Amino acid sequence: MDKISELQKEHSEIKGLLSKIENSIDNNVNGEFIVELFDDLDKTWNRHEKREEKIFNKIVRYGKMPFEKMLLNEHRELRGHWKVLRIAMDPVKKMFRVALDTDGRMLIRKLKEHIAIEDKFIEKLIDPRFR
């Protein structure tokens, strides 16, 4: 599987995890299960982000467009939101559900938007008309 196909596959995995988390928040599922889902998301996102940044950094070095830098900057922004949410990820804490409902939903929305932008960018990478 080539690197671009791997990114697309990982985007699908991440979107699936985001949907599961969102569903779990909506249905007031057991907090420990939601934490496990976020742990899965964290592992998948970390692996994906490293792979993606290698590819985007190569493109930036070859002087394509500043768009790739924007995507890399968004990774750092998302990482900041992620850290704030992880602090609240203790199902015993009273603020856990509030954090999920506000910060969790915000992170899910931002990740979905970010992945949608990357998916369009990846399509341009593989479409010969844009090379």
pLDDT in tens, the chain (131 residues): 587 888 889 999 999 999 999 999 999 888 889 989 999 998 998 888 888 878 777 766 655 555 555 666 677 777 777 777 788 787 777 788 888 888 889 889 988 988 898 888 778 766 665 44
What domains are there in the chain, each with its CATH number? 3-130 (1.20.120)
Alpha helices in the chain (DSSP H): 3-26, 31-61, 67-87, 96-99, 105-126
DSSP state of 41: H
- Angle, helix 3-26 to helix 105-126, in steps of 10 degrees: 160
User: Could you tell me the pTM of the whole model?
Assistant: 0.79
